[in-house]
Structure 1
């Protein structure tokens, strides 16, 4: 009987149980009979099982480790001289902003931070934005691999589903860590990307990246520091003042991300030749965005809404910064360099677009800035900034296209006049009239005309 056991050919199901973590150790002789390099497979499985999170979800710790590794290996820290220079720039920028906006100052002192600190502070928001896409990819990978498995082994695959799901999700987390880590090498300040990544009410500049940004501009460093500090403070002040705005932006991004659907045909094709000992093909597919099909109409609509919101924010920041830094001789040159940099985006921002399918560059910032200038000229700083008090007051995409109606409405309010009702006001009035019964009274009157007066 023992001889029979020795002569028995290796059972593929037993090998897969070992490979998928269902118990036991990999047998090198068994692997060799299937043409698999035992050492390579052992290393691959250690890597995959290391990716697996305790609850079978996305291993976000992996993203953090990857991002911090990239950020810290080239982080030179913050010198005392850099800290002093930026503290002075923030102090003067605070005074200048008090003249160009009625939005109140920050409660937290702005400061200089390292690349690693930027990763630590912003990663929770990146995770929130990317989680819907990571979950979609992880679920789709599990489904695709299961469909490639023979019927008699479906029970085994189902039992190891947690590991399979973790493979795709954790590879995505690793790539996100790559993107965030590389972004930490590019961003100059906390609000540089345009979305509220920093904790609410915090402003910061990364001295190392600030030095890289100004190296080829031939602009005095003190002027550049004042401009960047002013813009960063304006951005942070706005999100502290309009607390609802942060939630609105993040909700818009996550709504877009939830609409992401993985290209199942591409994934199934990838799964049919997936080699656990060489996951580079899956990694490359994630990096290139090949698994994300063309955007749906709902996503296009969500993206347009998000772009208008970001442009409205960036346009206001641009106008306020322009007014506050008007004393700087090089302000116009710095502003143009900043706009070009935001419009083009860096390699890491392009990688984020491939990974999540989302572009964060405000395409309509110039038009939005023109709208804010028109509003400022018409009604002044306080009335302009009051539009951020409530979500319903925020300018719309139509206002960016043509700010004349918005300006007329604000001018009427400034004169104490009731604004001229627009289509939305008329529709709301009609709805309220119907609910109050006025419309019914008219209908009753019509009935009396036809049938004569009703008896009392």
Structure 2
């Protein structure tokens, strides 16, 4: 649908000083210019008080309606530009400061030292990406694309549910007397006759998509912007959010954490740098982890059951042209309370992977720092308590995808990697990340000693042969796909 261009004051059909300008505009938007001459339309606008709008208010209404019906539609289910803009504003409300030169140098030095310590305890190499010292806003900007990728399946489901709910309401109107019956509702102005609910839905479809995209952009911005206030490093949530797996520290978060501890801030900075650098090395050395973690989050989100009845009930009580009101009304009713079997499987996989990542980081960071930092053990316990009380990741996921996420088996995972190290050194400890088929599972966390014995039994030639077989099968699969594509 094409919206006619807006003319200047007094020069065309959208003259804000013309009392019939809004009626004509609505006629154009609905594809029926004759509505401008329909007395029922004018009566409806009069009963709504629209004829008393001053020129500025009328111009604003015109811009909002045009934006909803004819503005450029976002490509995806979430308006990423709006999400980023709102998240930046959310961060700015908390007084986010630009990272100063002194902070940048001290944190960059901490990363450099931590990398030297890690070189002594793991053969996993550092990521080639430059290190980063970020403000909260810089972290938001760098990680927002990944957040949007993770929550898009939820946004798709909610937008579809909103469309279904609205279509159902319009169908009910048509079945029971249509807009005439609605006009008889106490307090409702007389609506014009002859408007087809099906045609209205066709016109409103793009608007619903834009509202859904705007609503989820606002929700994503609130979650990610709020999360940035708690973080101390780029991937503290346990997900590979940072482009290129760069090691990123957030001085504002580290400073806030240090203020509650009786530990030298320089020690805190070094310990957290070691944890972040260890996580970066793991994501770099095991690229399959990124795909597996992302797939687990999306699998959970994709199978979310949307509460269509709840959405329908809420939509009947709010102004559909107000995305903020929609977000507030729908926020507590989007998801049905019981997870499906598929969601439970995805949740188990995700919790296991996060526990394994953080368990490995716990062990490796401890080995890297315990000879250098007197308070390394105490800082490790501080990090574990921080997670146990509901850390940043849990709050963010609960708000974005209805997922109460906590790596419940973190201590089991740490014990597993410590046991592997005791049995075969850092080489055996790190070898299990070589391929997803040899990585520990949730069942292995139930039987740590049995898993260690199985890995030890496969150590050496047998393990190398198994890895060669798995990698060879992957290469053959890719070659077969290429050959098939070539024949096609």
- Give the TM bin, normalised by the shorter chain: 0.7 to 0.9
Identify the residue that residue 174 of structure 1 maps to in structure 2: 218
Measured against aligned partners, the alpha-carbon deviations of 1:343-373 in whole angstroms (never above 9, x if no partner) come to 2235785254133112343111111111111
Measured against aligned partners, the alpha-carbon deviations of 1:402-454 in whole angstroms (never above 9, x if no partner) come to 112221122223476799xxxxxxxxxxxxxxxxxxxxxxxxxxxxxxxxxxx
Counterparts of residues 5-404 of structure 1 (less than 5 Å): 30-35=43-48, 46-47=63-64, 50=67, 53-54=72-73, 57-58=76-77, 59-73=79-93, 74-149=95-170, 150-151=173-174, 152-276=196-320, 279-288=323-332, 290-294=333-337, 295-327=339-371, 328-345=373-390, 349-350=394-395, 352-404=397-449
How large is the RMSD of aligned CA atoms in angstroms? Answer: 3.1
Identify the residue that residue 191 of structure 2 maps to in structure 1: none
Higher mean C-alpha displacement, 335-344 vs 78-87: 335-344
Is the 2:362–2:414 Cα contact (8 Å) retained in structure 1?
yes
Inter-CA distance 414–300: structure 2 relative to 1 (3 Å threshold): closer
Higher mean C-alpha displacement, 279-288 vs 302-311: 279-288
- Runs (4 or more) in structure 1 with deviation over 6 Å come to 12-16, 18-28, 415-419
CA–CA separation in structure 1 for the residues paired with 2:245 and 2:36: 53
Identify the residue that residue 480 of structure 2 maps to in structure 1: none
CA–CA separation in structure 1 for the residues paired with 2:310 and 2:91: 33
Is the 2:215–2:324 Cα contact (8 Å) retained in structure 1?
no
Is the 1:45–1:276 Cα contact (8 Å) retained in structure 2?
no
CA–CA separation in structure 1 for the residues paired with 2:218 and 2:32: 24
CA–CA separation in structure 2 for the residues paired with 1:228 and 1:24: 68
Shift of 1:230: 0.1
Inter-CA distance 88–170: structure 2 relative to 1 (3 Å threshold): same
Shift of 1:65: 0.8
Instruction: Give secondary structure in 2 for the equivalent of 1:159.
Output: helix
CA–CA separation in structure 2 for the residues paired with 1:418 and 1:369: 22
Inter-CA distance 165–413: structure 2 relative to 1 (3 Å threshold): closer
Inter-CA distance 26–384: structure 2 relative to 1 (3 Å threshold): farther
Instruction: Give secondary structure in 2 for the equivalent of 1:371.
Output: helix
Normalised TM-score (structure 2):
0.76
CA–CA separation in structure 1 for the residues paired with 2:31 and 2:25: 10
Is the 1:140–1:264 Cα contact (8 Å) retained in structure 2?
yes
Instruction: Give secondary structure in 2 for the equivalent of 1:200.
Output: helix
Measured against aligned partners, the alpha-carbon deviations of 1:202-232 in whole angstroms (never above 9, x if no partner) come to 1100111111111111210111011000000
Shift of 1:281: 4.5
Is the 1:66–1:178 Cα contact (8 Å) retained in structure 2?
yes
Measured against aligned partners, the alpha-carbon deviations of 1:375-398 in whole angstroms (never above 9, x if no partner) come to 111111012111111111111111
CA–CA separation in structure 2 for the residues paired with 1:161 and 1:238: 45
Q: Structure 1 unaligned segments of length 5 or more: list them.
A: 1-9, 420-456
Shift of 1:285: 3.8
Normalised TM-score (structure 1):
0.81
CA–CA separation in structure 2 for the residues paired with 1:370 and 1:182: 33
CA–CA separation in structure 1 for the residues paired with 2:65 and 2:388: 38
Q: Structure 2 unaligned segments of length 5 or more: list them.
A: 1-19, 175-195, 465-488
CA–CA separation in structure 2 for the residues paired with 1:85 and 1:271: 52
Instruction: Give secondary structure in 2 for the equivalent of 1:100.
Output: coil
Shift of 1:310: 0.8
CA–CA separation in structure 2 for the residues paired with 1:225 and 1:22: 65
Shift of 1:142: 1.3
Higher mean C-alpha displacement, 227-236 vs 137-146: 137-146
Shift of 1:47: 5.0
Inter-CA distance 417–138: structure 2 relative to 1 (3 Å threshold): closer
CA–CA separation in structure 1 for the residues paired with 2:441 and 2:58: 56
Higher mean C-alpha displacement, 26-35 vs 181-190: 26-35
Q: Number of aligned pairs?
A: 409
